[in-house]
Amino acid sequence: MTLSTTLTILFSSFLVTVILAPVGIPLLRRLKFGQSIREEGPQSHMKKAGTPTMGGLIFLLAIIISTIVVAMIFDLFTTQTIVLLLVLVGFGVIGFLDDGLKVIFKRNLGLTSLQKLIGQIAIAIAAFLLLRLGSFDTSIGIPYTDVSIDLGILYVGFLIFWLVGFSNAVNLTDGLDGLVSGTASIAFAAFGVIALFNEQADIALFAFAVTGALLGFLIFNANPAKVFMGDTGSLALGGALAMISVLVKQELLLLLIGLVFVIETLSVILQVGSYKLRKKRIFKMSPIHHHFELSGWSEWKVVLVFWSTGCIVALIAVLAEALL
């Protein structure tokens, strides 16, 4: 994929998002799709109650439109493009239903964990079956080595774990203005570059479409946020990010590029485990971004530190991929 194609997809998805947002945000407000805030959360967040949520619909539309149009123009619409759109839309629908129930019943709980899990598993299996129609590699490699393990049909179990795990990891991270928009755009851009190294132009196109759309959304989602992405956006982004790592055959590299999401998830696991086993909390609150807030950090400081961490690990991953 040429530089002009890369810039075309980045700019087009950015532009579509920037055009849709001023229309979508007032519409979400009129429909009273306001965010419910956890009472046990930081008190500084209570002022965010009522901010339009489900804004993920805005950048999801931008990603879908720009990916399909640009892929058609440059003849890059492939089975892998279909799989990526399937995962993005499928997980987005689950998030949309989850957000919808929260809005309708004015509570912070939507779909049950089991309902979400069943939907995520079904989408992961559908993606696997589509990939198996071609010559899909079912091995998992160790980054920067020639070592790999072929899982065969068991790969479907790994795929389910990977997509469900990272969709929920990104969802957990979505707790501060602009946090996920920034960290996810960095992660998708990194995998876009890696896809270019691998000459997988169709995957690179999708990755940069997501990057451009998120940068456009960040204009409206940065502190103070005019709109939240909701589970509609975060679940879709997590599933799509995991799927990209699978398609570029750098599954485990996602643990580095998505380190912020991994740390956020581990903080929740450690907090819950510690409380159940010892009746003591490790952090003031989990996920860990709230711990830093309650420790006196401003919201902007937490977000900037996490963005910086995402940039550093992404650069390390990309440079290592280029040099090794």
What are the 10-residue block averages of pLDDT along the chain, 324 residues in total?
90 98 96 71 69 96 97 95 98 95 76 94 98 94 93 97 98 97 98 96 98 98 96 98 98 98 98 95 96 96 98 97 89
The closest of 206, 177, 176, 173 to 189, measured between CA atoms, is 206
Asked if 57 and 97 touch (Cβ cutoff 8 Å), the reply is: no
Residue 41 has a pLDDT of 60
pTM: 0.96
What b/e sequence results for 180-206 when a residue is b if at least 16 CB atoms lie within 10 Å of its CB, and e otherwise? bbbbbbbbbbbbbbbbbeeebbbbbbb
Give the pLDDT confidence score for residue 1 in this predicted structure. 79
pLDDT at position 118: 97
Residue whose pair of structure tokens reads 């956020």 in the numeric block: 264
- Ligand-binding annotation for 231, yes or no, is yes
CB 50 within 8 A of CB 35: yes
| Confidence (pLDDT) at 37 | 62
* pLDDT given at position 158: 98
**Distance spanning both ends of the chain, measured CA to CA:** 22
Predicted local confidence at residue 107, as pLDDT: 65
- Asked if omega into 143 is within 30° of 0 (cis), the reply is no
Nearest to 79 by CA among 9, 138, 127: 127
pLDDT of residue 55: 97
